[in-house]
Amino acid sequence: MKDSESLKDYRRVRRLAIRSLFEIIEQSSEGTVIVDKEARIVWINERYARRFGLEDPSRAIGQPCEKVIPGSLLRQVASDGQPILLDMMDTAKDPLVVMRLPIHDDGGGVIGAIGFALFDELRALSPLLKRYQGMQQELASTRSLLRARQAKYSFAHFIGTSAPSLEVKRRARRSASADSPVLLLGETGTGKELLAHAIHNASPRASKPFVSINSAAIPETLLEAEFFGTAPGAFTGADRKGRNGKLHLAEGGTLFLDEIGDMPLALQSKLLRVLQEREYEPVGSNQMIKSDVRLIAATSTDLEAAIKRGDFRADLFYRLSVLPIKVPPLRERLDDLPALSEAILEDLHSQHELEQDAMNVLTQHAWPGNIRELRNVLERAALLSDDLQLDAQEIRAAIGTLLPLEPPIPVALEQDAGQTYSEARQQFDRTLIQSKLAQCGGNVVLAARQLGLGRSTLYKKMAALGIAESQ
């Protein structure tokens, strides 16, 4: 009963707690000092006085705190009443970790301040600081990894307003909202990887990693480990701690498999399991790991022909081609050449511009290397040109061997059974001449030379067929 009554005497308990707290901190700290409202020292313990060169603590009484303790902020605390709970203060000997608290009277007014030097030389804080630094380094490393694994391109980077380009972007945007595998088909240099980045950036997984792996660039013996990772000591020379594969790095995000047509058959079957069961097994491990990864694959290989040769699994092809997107070659989207050329020159930080005859030359080439080749040609021409206006001769020199476009195949004669031989021949001639004029940018002399005709002969045929010279 007496114990419970003593607990009710909260003022006494509070007073004892404050005294005990003060005594504990004062005895365990490196030093303690008390100042009044004007920041004059009213008490300092012996340890703290000696630290600042005073053998007798009484000599500090009445002195401004800054005179005894250079850099002290007790005047600020005594003035505004705001505590400084943890701070570092430089001294001539070593830095100190300090705490500064205001002192209030019974009415709540600030009448002074008290300062404690908690730690000397940061020894006591060393484990905490090391842990904090480790956490900061780990966080910085994680952020750096995430930045490195972010997709770089959006649909705005896929330049082109031609019908084939618009259709590709339409299908790609639609695929972004789904979580099914995407198969990008097209020749090298057409922009398949750019589209993979764009699909990821427009998908719900945009904030997660985008990880790419090129099946043709990694030796077959290492590809499985690169893809699935390895268990500790999985084989001679393997990392004793194990190594995460690209599937692990892409967890929650998108894994882009470039040139999947070059993937070995043994690895194809394991990839099929990832797609069907959403789980995989690292090399040398017996543990199955669940996987949440969206797969985008790309290839310049004819996969259907590879299936017939036995080089690619048909079941994997069907699983990958849920959303197939055919990326057209540059020769099938020549209307995009002006916009593409302007974008490439801007990306190269070049001030060069293309004259119309130079643009006409670009429309005559078949571009086997597609947009990658176009960039190479424009960069070479810009570097070699002394003029900011690139002409036809400079573009021809940059291209090297001009590979002419193949003329379009004429409409089959059986499509119109009512045509006579003469009408069918006229249709063929008209299609052939119009195509050749388009390739030559309307240059009749050049078109005649490529067709093996005299200039006057070509003019006569054009007049007979109603083909305007402007074509």
Give how far Cα 27 sits from Cα of 24, 45, 66, Å. 5, 10, 23
Question: How far is residue 18 CA from its own chain's centroid?
Answer: 56
Residue 423 pLDDT class (50, 70, 90 cuts): confident
* CATH classification for the domain delimited by 15-120, as one of 3.30.1280.10, 3.30.750.24, 3.30.450.20, 3.40.50.720: 3.30.450.20
Which tokens sit at 311? 């080089």
Domain 413-465 has CATH 1.10.10: yes
User: 152-181: per-residue pLDDT in tens?
Assistant: 778 889 998 888 899 999 999 999 988 999
Annotation: CATH topology of 155-326:
Rossmann fold (3.40.50)
Listed residue (29, 16, 20, 51) closest to 100, CA to CA = 29
Domain made up of 331-399: CATH architecture: Orthogonal Bundle (1.10)
- pLDDT tens, 274-331? 888 898 888 877 788 898 999 999 999 899 889 999 999 999 999 998 889 999 999 9
What letter represents residue 461's amino acid? K
Q: With 90 as the cut, is the pLDDT of residue 226 above it?
A: no
Contact 392, 358 (CB under 8 A): yes
CA-based nearest residue to 98, from 79, 114, 81, 82: 114
* Mean pLDDT along residues 366-386: 93
Domain residue limits, the chain: 15-120, 155-326, 331-399, 413-465
Cβ atoms of residues 97 and 122 within 8 Å: yes
Place of tokens 């966080």: 139
Rounded to whole angstroms, the Cα distance separating 151 from 141 reads: 18
Look up tokens 């409409």; give the residue.
411
Q: Using one digit for the tens of pLDDT, what is the confidence trace for 177-201?
A: 889 999 999 999 999 999 999 999 9
- The Cα–Cα gap between 406 and 365 comes to 10
137 falls in which pLDDT band (50, 70, 90)?
A: low
The tokens for 410 are: 């004429």
Residue 413 confidence (pLDDT) above 50:
no
Q: What gap in Å lies between CA 224 and CA 245, rounded to an integer?
A: 9
Going by pLDDT thresholds of 50, 70 and 90, the confidence category of residue 29 is confident
pLDDT tens digits for 75-96?
999 999 999 887 878 777 777 8
Residue 74 has pLDDT above 70, yes or no: yes
The Cα–Cα gap between 404 and 363 comes to 9
pTM over cut 0.85: no
Say if residue 22 is exposed, middle or buried (CB neighbours under 10 Å; 0-12, 13-18, 19+): middle
> Which of 12-26, 392-406, 425-439 shows the lowest mean pLDDT across its residues?
12-26
**Burial of 261 from C-beta contacts in 10 A (0-12 / 13-18 / 19+):** buried
Mean pLDDT, the chain, whole residue set: 83
pLDDT band at 425 (very low <50, low <70, confident <90, very high): confident
d(CA 95, CA 97): 7
Q: Are the folds of 331-399 and 413-465 the same?
A: no
CA distances 33 to 12, 27, 46, 68, 348, Å, are 25, 12, 10, 10, 66
